[in-house]
Structure 1
């Protein structure tokens, strides 16, 4: 009787092992990964590029996707740790030390340059310097040219919560660029007359700028391109000394360095999803192309995913060049 029980038990184990092996094969779908996680560090252009990539990944390659939101520091760490698989917009020089450290350590891999024709710094509405005859606005600070000049104009950019001092809108505190602006405050002596104001979010900074612009009032603060704001409004970038690496590293007292905005993946991703890795190696746009989607979002009141799909219908020749023909056909069918 014992021999029969042992035989039946052994047989059952073999059957269960076979079933488990078969089930595991179905779940893995021979891909090594089922859900691809992308980073959202808090601005619209990365959300548009995420949506473009997600449409191709889901409709073309059959992957599930999800997005992890957080500050630049948190999402880059997530990429290093493998909690995030793909980062569609790493502004390399904004996080130069961390980027170089992670790259040298092999924690993640840069696969392509999304765009490199972007600019960033402290902007004012152009009417602050030149006026606007159509709107009946006289120049507020016709001699304003440089970031350092700002300390001469606290009354023009008056802080509503601290009369007698000016206000410069920095980037949100969770953003890497915030520290660079803060260092510029010290080296240019802006703290003598100006307050370094950190908005709670990009949306708060934008709302402050738009309210001032629509009212024809002075405003100064950090922004960058490609964005809806720089595409839609007439803004002037305040000048700084030409970029010099040694000076930048020591004091930040130059214009922002050239900034490749790259697509990066976690170190394990090339083996987990080699066909997607190959697609991302071909991913390349520009500030102008990205700005088109951002303007469409604003003018039509849509979310980044809808803007991304519109963008893909407008630039089919571009994105179809990133993927094999059979994948492109699946995505095109889904977009119809």
Structure 2
């Protein structure tokens, strides 16, 4: 009798453990709690996107309890990743001009949540002491610029627009150099030290406008477009899979002044973009809470 009782207790204990393990961490969607709390975002290593993505990461992690993975990729790959569902979203689509060619290819496979920052701009930028004011004047002054336009990563929207500008304005005596946002600002800083003429691919918001006296060259042919906005784009199905994340990303919206403040902090020696994002979130509780309503 004792033997059967012991076997019965062992069987009951085993069933309890199996059921318990099967239910551990489950949620309404049937996914594990750990899997459902992970958010993946793609971005390009531009100062603007480093800033905005870390603010989003801080809010999702510190306020909503998610584990956020930021993946740095090229511009084309960023849009492809969200279209394929490899990442949950991006907060870095400059529209209607800069990234239009990318977005146009994937618009049926993603959801555009609209503007998260209004008042951006792209174009060719020079120091204010450079005494020309229009792209049309570059050709006649190519020697003063050493025949170079300092660019960033190949494939970036502003690089594509600059290739068009070179053709449309007949700048066949200029070469568009490739690099990164960091190498572009380094070249700009070196030229400013000696008051040399330099022209770079530029965009705002960007910390360089707060640090130095710069100006956009006028663009009579409107190659670079006018003022733009940065949009948030997410994968299809995010609303059903993670409604809390979807709602926050839909409400996320700040100003160029907000972004530039954090960007300046990020340029300080030894700066940690994540810690600076935490600092901004702590100093702007009302704005952050509005995103989470």
Report which stretch shifted further, 114-123 or 167-176. 167-176
Give the structure 2 partner of residue 334 of structure 1. Answer: none
2:232 aligns to what? Answer: 263
Q: What root-mean-square deviation, in Å, do the aligned CA atoms of Structure 1 and Structure 2 show?
A: 2.5
Equivalent in 97, 100, 103 of residue 96 of structure 1:
100
Counting only pairs closer than 5 Å after superposition, residues 73-112 of structure 1 correspond to structure 2 as: 73-92=76-95, 93-103=97-107, 105=108, 107-112=109-114
8 Å CA contact 2:79–2:106 kept in 1: the answer is no
Where 1:182 maps in the other structure, the secondary structure is helix
- Specify the alignment match of 2:261 in structure 1: 292
| CA deviation vs aligned residue, 1:149-206 (integer Å, no higher than 9, x gap) | 1011122111xxxxxxx11112321312211101110111101x2222222x111111
Q: How does 1:16-27 map to 2 (within 5 A)?
A: 18-19=19-20, 21-23=22-24, 25=26
SS in 1 for 2:99: helix
Is the alpha carbon distance of 1:257 and 1:287 closer, same or farther for their aligned partners in structure 2, counting shifts above 3 Å? same
Is the CA contact (8 Å cut-off) linking 2:40 and 2:68 kept in structure 1?
yes
TM-score by length of 2: 0.87
Instruction: State the match for 1:189 in structure 2.
Output: 170
> What secondary structure does 2:26 align onto?
helix
Q: Quote the offset at 1:13 in angstroms.
A: 11
Q: What is the TM-score when the length of structure 1 is the normalising length? A: 0.76
Work out the CA distance in 2 between the residues paired with 1:30 and 1:294.
34
Distance in structure 2 (CA, Å) of the matches to 1:24 and 1:281: 27
- Name the SS of the counterpart of 1:308 in structure 2: helix
Alignment of 1:117-196 (within 5 A): 117-129=119-131, 144-158=132-146, 166-191=147-172, 193-196=173-176
Distance 2:228 2:126 in 1: 21
Distance between the aligned counterparts of 1:292 and 1:88, measured in 2? Answer: 18
Task: Name the structure 2 match of 1:213.
Answer: 192
The 2-side partners of 1:13 and 1:79 are apart by 43
**Contact 1:168/1:220, CA 8 A, preserved across alignment:** yes
- Conserved 8 A contact 1:241-1:255: no
Counterpart of 1:296 in 2: which secondary structure?
A: helix
4+ aligned runs moved over 6 Å, structure 1? 10-17
5 Å matches for 1:24-35? 25=26, 28=31, 33-35=36-38
Measure, in 2, the Cα distance between the counterparts of 1:216 and 1:301: 28
Distance 2:226 2:214 in 1: 20
Q: Is the 8 A contact 1:36 1:85 kept in 2?
A: yes
User: What is the aligned residue count?
Assistant: 281
5+ residue gaps, structure 1: 1-7, 130-143, 159-165, 244-253, 325-336
Cα drift, residue 303 of structure 1: 2.1
Which has the larger displacement, 65-74 or 87-96?
87-96
Write the distance in 1 (CA, Å) between the matches of 2:178 and 2:212.
Answer: 22
1:214-258 C-alpha deviation (Å, 9 max, x unpaired): 222111010100111122111010001264xxxxxxxxxx34244
Describe the SS at the equivalent of 2:144. coil
- Which residue of 190, 201, 204 maps to 1:222? 201
Partner of 1:44: 47
CA distance in 1, matches of 2:227, 2:215: 18
Whether the aligned pair in 2 keeps the contact of 1:44 and 1:227 (CA below 8 Å) is yes
